[in-house]
Amino acid sequence: MRALIQRVSQASVVIEGTTVSAIGPGLLVLLGVAEGDTAADREWLARKVANLRIFNDPDGVMNHSLLDTGGDLIVVSQFTLLAATKKGNRPSYIKAAGPEEAIPQYEAFVSDMEALIGKPVGTGAFGADMKVSLTNDGPVTIWIDSRNRE
């Protein structure tokens, strides 16, 4: 699994003109599920996202996590995070899991996050044409890949 984590002051997801998720301060996570990702990958990544210390403490030092701040969270499925660009100019998505594998992993990740942070998590809709808006706070953007644990 790959996650692009953005610390935001606000974020929203709009599908066909309707806002389906909107948050204030917190995290927007774009999540890509790769073929063969396991429950262990998913659980490790969920714990990492919940505990990632990228929010400022009173001294302005990034020392607090989403758990510490009580911030909100939106998770959006994003198969393009698995793009392979080594050959040619058209990205290949062959490493991305198909819907039969990716949807259950995505939904389980959202459930894992809800259990960890103790509140509902905003989402998009798997496979939908989504308009994602955000105000990146900092900016702070972190890339994590569960396969290499970084």
State yes or no: is 85 an active-site residue. Answer: no
Determine the Cα–Cα distance for residues 144 and 4; give it in Å rounded to an integer.
7
Structure tokens given for 137 = 């706070």
Instruction: Identify the active-site residue in 80, 85, 123, 141.
Output: 80
If phi > 0 it is left, if psi is from -120 to 50 it is alpha, else beta; for residue 102 that is alpha
CA-CA-CA-CA torsion for 6, 82, 20, 72, nearest 10 degrees?
-30
Q: Whose CA is closest to 124, among 43, 49, 26, 12?
A: 12
Determine the Cα–Cα distance for residues 141 and 127; give it in Å rounded to an integer.
24
Q: Whose CA is closest to 144, among 59, 11, 42?
A: 42
Looking at the annotation, which residues are catalytic? 80
